[in-house]
Amino acid sequence: MTAQSTPDVTPQNAPVRVAVLGCGVVGTEVVRLLTTQTADLAARVGAPLELVGVAVRNLATPRDPVVDPALLTDDAEVLVDRADIVVEVVGGIEPARTLLLRALRGGASVVTANKALLAEDGPTLYAAADAAGVDIYFEAAVAGAIPLVRPVRESLTGDRVRRVLGIVNGTTNFVLDRMATDGLDLDAAVAEAQELGYAEADPTADVEGYDAAAKAAILASLAFHTRVSLADVDRQGITGVTAEDVAWAARTGHVVKLLAIAEHRPADQDGPEGVQVRVHPALVPQDHPLAGVRGAFNAVFVEAEAAGELMFYGRGAGGAPTASAVLGDLVSAARHRVHGGRGPAESFYAALPVLPARAARTRYQIRLDVTDRPGVLAQVATVLAEHGVSIEAVRQSVQPAEAVARLVITTHEATEAALSATVAAIAEHDSVREVVSVLRVEGV
């Protein structure tokens, strides 16, 4: 898209005025870097960066000593109007959206870490930036310090991205890792994550997959030049994952991970061309690089037509890592204020349809408790065949005292629609006592 106006260029040697919205963990680290690396930042930008204020909700809240109390204000609108660049680390939809639109329309560039806002209403912000001829940067919104947005948005812009697959939420990765290594149940692992500061007091955004879904929407929009919102993402969190699921995963050579998956699907016999985006727990083979991502780390695979497979790995959250990404964006935006030029605008020329969840193609691992008698496995196999789903592997264990057999069936790839119908039909079979667990298998 073409800008409607040209941004003001800061006079040579004049400082670039920076306002920070929010002074939590990330905001404090941003202030720390701005105040302790002034000379280096000025050299990189070509002009000094002047921190003109930090907007907070409550002036009485105790702050880190690195934050000069004289910089604090509870009047964010006035502060925004004084800035050349506004850094937003408040989070949430409002008042962040209103403040950022005010900044953009007033001619200030924006640096934000607000994944929820970008996933819900990014196009409105991009349009405002384009109309004003200013920058909007958001590297910190996805995967913290890991350079991911810029490579997808800029470095791969001459290539065709086919798929993005990765772990983009450190909290859930820590929880699932603890369940795998020490056999903790979900609640105990979440409690430990909260004690260590990886999870909020209310962990819903993490464990229900909302955080990962917002990041998946942003990555899909960038990778496939198509507007994808949070509402377009098929989302399933980890609250249904049990310690038994994790233990069985290990027995079958897998690790359970919460994955964000965005892929371009060409037109074929299963449906039209489009983009499919989903977040869900999945079984990852133990020899896949994602299986070895431990603790609160993130890792993302990008599969491109010419570049092949690229992997980005690092700390996906935390004050210092996220602030590092914010400062990288801030330097880029400030350089443009000093020397002219603009960062990339929104690219949505492809305008591909976002396909429903049933269009995805994947594998399943289905765990069943069945009556222990001859012929049951053949009956279950017949149900799968009737729905066009083939079996890759079967594992069986028997509990003689209860006359129950546990079947673990791994399927070949099929559409989600076919697999879901298969599972529903299996559950209704007379010989099936319970469908214990159904997990997708990814990364094969």
**Nearest in space to 312 (alpha carbons), one of 338, 289, 342:** 289
215 is catalytic: yes
Asked if 284 and 246 touch (Cβ cutoff 8 Å), the reply is: no
200 is in an annotated binding site: yes
Neighbours of 241 (CB within 10 A): 24
24 is in an annotated binding site: yes
| Identified catalytic residue from 215, 264, 265, 280 | 215
Q: To 10 degrees, the CA torsion angle through 179, 185, 187, 189? A: -20
115 is in an annotated binding site: yes
377 is in an annotated binding site: no
What distance lies between CA 377 and its chain's CA centroid?
39
21 is in an annotated binding site: yes
**d(Cα 439, Cα 283) in Å, to the nearest integer?**
7
Question: CB within 8 A of 65, min separation 6: which ones?
Answer: none
27 is in an annotated binding site: yes
**d(Cα 118, Cα 350) in Å, to the nearest integer?**
19
Active site residues: 215
- Annotated binding residues, written as ranges, equal 21-28, 115, 200
- Annotated binding residues for NADPH, written as ranges, equal 115
- Annotated binding residues for L-homoserine, written as ranges, equal 200
